[in-house]
Structure 1
């Protein structure tokens, strides 16, 4: 508001702006508004900036992790876990798709980098490609779990496979578990829960 008023005075009244007056106006507005804004200081740089303006930073609230437990499908179902990610908004994106059978054993998986996209696009592509693969394979009893920020039934195996997908722009089939996901497959098979922080 202070900058807008100063611009108007310059354009309409040909009045030179006082930068110190603009700065004081912005600083007083921030002091007034800060307690009512939803944002929090996220790191040291944010905190230092706020302190330099005379505002007490509010630390971001810590979020308790949620425990998740992967359940194997019942025969003759095949469980399809999908995940998608983007490193920025938008940024390097990828998806991962994992298939497991009734005894919980790894049945195969795909991962692929998608270039610059959003996390939502990557998650959606994971579901679409997973369903296309099951159709091509002739599998009819599919239990789909999507690893989305809005879905609690997340899966760490699909998450790790998705991270592998960032390294490749082509669709890669993993007939056997890559070493990066093997520990998480064992944890799922043995019924160990895993935590996920929901922001």
Structure 2
């Protein structure tokens, strides 16, 4: 909650009192060199900067303190779930520690030393890391030891192999996916036959939309593309279980797509739908990403080179793995 309030500028600091019309004399309680604002207190004050530098040294990462949202960029994009929990806990507890130190000065006239703040952050991060339900890798042991966190190692039975399976004749399978980057959505789909051969693919730049909207649009586009090529037996597969619910509950279709959905359902195509984990849907995921770089909707008669590796793995029946 405290991080949410900080990110959205709702911390009860002198800055917010002034925006409400209160005329007050303000000074940062740590450095006494400038007025108190959320950005200064948590990001720019020497007390806060020293804590963030200390935390960055512990995490072996240079923490970006230019804004509240940039603090979360320190969380690695690819790491085990327990490590991700520790990074997030470290940011939250550091913000909380700074806020408690500020309040101790304001309401108790008690200054928090840098050493006590450091000990508090380390203790809270260790507690959060130990209570995490995430899993780690053997290579994470040195990092976990630096925070005195017990390793929650994955077991073999928790690792799930995910395979793409070819359809049985006369069905054709299309794997679809949606993507949103900076509020802009795109989607894509890949058609394959019972031998896993490439039949065609599409990418579409959706514009400003939600992930769910792009996932549903990908399903509708697949039906339209199949009808235009007179493919009457279509197996739709997506990694979005919520989007697939539109087949059993059409009221879940976004209102802007309902007419198009109704028309697609009347194209005379036999439909089978199934869910696949995203690890087995990588070709469609990459097509959706490619959709951000185009205008409108594009049909592809040739397999894009970026998909070749995952396409061959799928056709050979090689599994990808889903980790807890």
- TM-score of the superposed pair, with normalisation by structure 2: 0.46
Counterpart CA distance in 1 for 2:160 and 2:211 is 20
Q: 1:196–1:117: structure 2 CA closer, same or farther, 3 Å change rule?
A: farther
Runs (4+) of structure 1 exceeding 6 A deviation are: 16-20
Q: C-alpha offsets along residues 79-117 of structure 1, whole Å, 9 cap, x if unaligned?
A: 0110001124xx121000100011101110000111111
Quote the residue 1:108 is aligned against: 200
Runs of 5+ in structure 1 lacking a partner? 21-38
Which segment is superposed worse, 145-154 or 169-178?
145-154
Q: CA RMSD in A?
A: 3.9
Counterpart CA distance in 2 for 1:101 and 1:18 is 70
More strand by share: 1
Quote the residue 2:214 is aligned against: 122
1:77 paired residue among 171, 186, 210 = 171
Larger CA Rg, structure 1 vs 2: 2
More helix by share: 2
Q: 1:131–1:40: structure 2 CA closer, same or farther, 3 Å change rule?
A: farther
Runs of 5+ in structure 2 lacking a partner? 1-10, 30-84, 100-116, 136-157, 243-274
> Secondary structure of 1:42's match?
helix
Contact in 2 for aligned 1:108/1:176 (Cα 8 Å): yes
Mapping of 1:43-192 within 5 angstroms? 45-53=91-99, 56-57=124-125, 58-59=128-129, 61-62=133-134, 66-88=160-182, 91-148=183-240, 151-154=275-278, 155-192=281-318
How many Å apart are 1:50 and its aligned residue? 3.0
> Secondary structure of 1:177's match?
coil
How many Å apart are 1:170 and its aligned residue? 1.6
How many Å apart are 1:18 and its aligned residue? 9.8
Contact in 1 for aligned 2:180/2:211 (Cα 8 Å): yes
Contact in 2 for aligned 1:106/1:177 (Cα 8 Å): yes
Q: How many residues align?
A: 180
Contact in 2 for aligned 1:115/1:169 (Cα 8 Å): no
